[in-house]
Amino acid sequence: MTVTVSANVAGSWINGAAVVTRGARHQVINPATGDVVAELALATPADVDTAVASARTALPGWAGATPAERSAVLAKLAALTAEHADELVAEEVSQTGKPARLAREFDVPGSIDNIDFFAGAARHLEGKATAEYSGDHTSSVRREAVGVVATITPWNYPLQMAVWKVLPALAAGCSVVIKPAELTPLTTLTLARLASEAGVPDGVFNVVTGAGGDVGTALAGHRDVDVVTFTGSTPVGRKVMAVAAVHGHRTQLELGGKAPFVVFDDADLDAAIQGAVAGSLINTGQDCTAATRAIVARELYDDFVAGVREVMGKVVVGDPNDEDTDLGPLISTAHRAKVAGMVERAPGQGGRVVTGGSAPNVPGSFYRPTVIADVSEDSEVYRDEIFGPVLTVRSFTDDDDAVRRPTTPITAWRPRRGPATSTALSGRLGRFRPDVCGSTTTSRSSARCRTAGWAHRDSARTCPTTRSRSTSPSSM
Ligand code: NAP
């Protein structure tokens, strides 16, 4: 089925309007079916110039609006987003192939809630330390908008990523140019349209669509932006940092992940199995916090492998619009080929494919839930981000071993039953480095649930879209 192209996918969104940009025509494909969802014109570096210029022109008005004015507009955007929730769910499902249930219960309501949050945050920008630090001079620090924010987002949670990048900037009074992933531009364009309807002034929120190599590079390396904020893979993040550094831009990178999932010998085995399956399959494993490396106490290892194999076998793979579907397709056939290649190379590096390891013979870029046991520490599937529905498993013999094994970030399993177990665990958890141990909220309810783990981060851990300015003497 080919969905009719609507006005908001003309190409880009610049200066408050849909713009048919000057680049090649591009088709957005539904990865569940291979059908064309929309066709649009991509931007060119010249279009990036236009978008950045429009953000620069709009900046003083938006930065100069009072917090209450910005907050009111963003609250209206939250309300409009809620009104258009069904449209956003449909777009997100058709461009990513994720189960409608996930988009409806997680992506879209989470985005609305986050917009609401930043509407409130707009009124809480604080200044600091007004005092007479030297003689008759009064010093103060005030927060003000940094300027034009260039942002680049990935395809796995397109709407949420756009919200996480754009809304803090808007709340702080910045203007924005965002480049969504070429595969998934639709919900970002809709968000920009709704922002205009909500009263975000023309030029404050711009979207340029296109491939990373040209449009992304042109944006991150643009001399007239002030901040570059990127979410995506670690190798691309390095490139973004390099081009942004040419002009000395402030840079924030949210990069790839490879979260370990540690199962101690006193864990509730059934809960650990359910959690590992849910944590590794969330969003078809295309999640920077997906728990893809299970590191399991030797005593539980065989039962754990048998258990995850059994539960994975019951996961429903198929039509994202079917309410019973747990697992949609991978984002594209190209990405599936990458995942399949890693799985196929695993046996040569000591891994044992226990279940899955192949694509069903149906249209779309589906891949079966896969467990690879006995992986060695230096094997590709254990070491590198797979970004697919693949759980790797290896064992440990004592806690020292478990602590040493995940030399990269950790998502530790937290058993829920019994004070004795919890007491033992809190001592064990304390042995993991707190700076690499993210919050873990894996629950037992199959693939509906979400883990929050750790992903590589760089530069500012806090929102980089305000800056502190010292003034002395003060004219306040
Ligand atoms: P990706 O290939 O790194 O692409 C991310 C974005 O960068 C896309 O918009 C891409 O554009 C663009 N891009 C590609 N090459 C570029 C270049 N040379 N210069 C500027 N921009 C460029 O990542 P992905 O495959 O979309 O997403 C998956 C990755 O994101 C995984 O590694 C995942 O762990 C990570 N991720 C991290 C977080 C986090 O919070 N840490 C959250 C979500 C995802 P095109 O795709 O249009 O070419």
Q: How far away, in angstroms, is 154 Cα from ligand 1 center?
A: 4
What residue's CA is closest to ligand 1, atom 13?
212
For residue 249, give the nearest of 460, 3, 30 by alpha carbon.
460
Give residue 320's Cα distance to chain centre.
Answer: 20
Does residue 349 have its Cβ closer than 6 Å to ligand 1? no
In this structure, are strands 466-471 and 259-263 parallel, antiparallel, or unpaired? unpaired
Q: Which of 254, 385, 437, 449 is catalytic?
A: 254
Determine how many CB atoms are found less than 10 A away from the CB of residue 388.
Answer: 25
453 in contact with ligand 1, CB cutoff 6 A: no
Closest ligand 1 atom to residue 179 Cα is 9
Give residue 292's region: left, alpha or beta (phi > 0; psi -120 to 50).
Answer: alpha
Does the beta carbon of 220 sit less than 6 angstroms from any atom of ligand 1? Answer: yes
Q: What span, in angstroms and rounded, lies between the C-alpha atoms of 266 and 393?
A: 18
pLDDT, residue 459, reads 35
CB of 188 sitting under 6 A from ligand 1: no
- At residue 283, what is the residue type? N
Q: What is the pLDDT along the chain (476 residues), one digit of tens a residue?
A: 444 445 457 899 999 999 999 999 999 999 999 999 999 999 999 999 999 999 999 999 999 999 999 999 999 999 999 999 999 999 999 999 999 999 999 999 999 999 999 999 999 887 777 788 888 888 888 888 999 999 999 999 999 999 999 999 999 999 999 999 999 999 999 999 999 999 999 999 999 999 999 999 999 999 999 999 999 999 999 999 999 999 999 999 999 888 888 899 999 999 999 999 999 999 999 999 898 899 999 999 999 999 999 999 999 999 999 999 999 999 999 999 999 999 999 999 999 999 999 999 999 999 999 999 999 988 999 989 999 999 999 999 987 777 665 554 444 333 333 322 333 444 566 665 544 434 333 333 322 223 223 333 333 333 334 444 443 332 22
CA distance linking residue 164 with residue 59, whole number of Å: 20
Atom of ligand 1 nearest to the CA of 234: 32
Q: Is the CB of 211 under 6 A from ligand 1?
A: yes
299 part of the active site: no
**Is any ligand 1 atom within 6 A of the Cβ of residue 387?**
yes
Q: Which of 231, 338, 383 to mutate to test the pocket of ligand 1 (most atoms within 8 A of CB)?
A: 231
364 lines ligand 1 (CB under 6 A): no
SS3 for 267-313 is CCHHHHHHHHHHHHHHHHHCCCCCEEEEEEEHHHHHHHHHHHHHHHH
Best mutation site among 48, 98, 156, 282 for ligand 1, i.e. most ligand atoms within 8 A of its Cβ? 156
Of 288, 437, 449, 463, the catalytic one is 288
CA 465 to CA 165: how far, in whole Å?
A: 10
Q: Please tell me the distance from the alpha carbon of residue 149 to that of residue 55, in angstroms, as a whole number.
A: 9
Query: Can you give the pLDDT at residue 130?
Result: 77
State the DSSP H helix or E strand holding residue 154, giving kind and residue range, or none if neither.
none
- Position 322, amino acid: D
Beta carbons of 162 and 188 less than 8 angstroms apart: yes
Name the closest-CA residue to atom 39, ligand 1. 254
Q: How many Cβ atoms from other residues are within 10 Å of residue 275's Cβ?
A: 29
Q: Are 251 and 229 in contact (CB under 8 A)?
A: yes
Q: What is the pLDDT of residue 142?
A: 81
Residue 288 designated active-site = yes
- What residue owns the CA closest to ligand 1's atom 30? 232
Long-range contact pairs involving 360-364 (C-beta distance under 8 Å, separation at least 24): 360/317, 363/33, 363/34, 364/30, 364/31, 364/32, 364/33, 364/34, 364/97, 364/329
Element (H, E) at 380: helix 380-383
Q: How far is the CA of 409 from the centre of ligand 1 (A)?
A: 19
CA 182 to ligand 1 centroid distance, Å = 10
pTM: 0.88
Rounded to the nearest 5 degrees, what angle is found at the Cα of 414, between the Cα atoms of 410 and 419? 145
Ligand 1 center to 433 CA (angstroms): 27
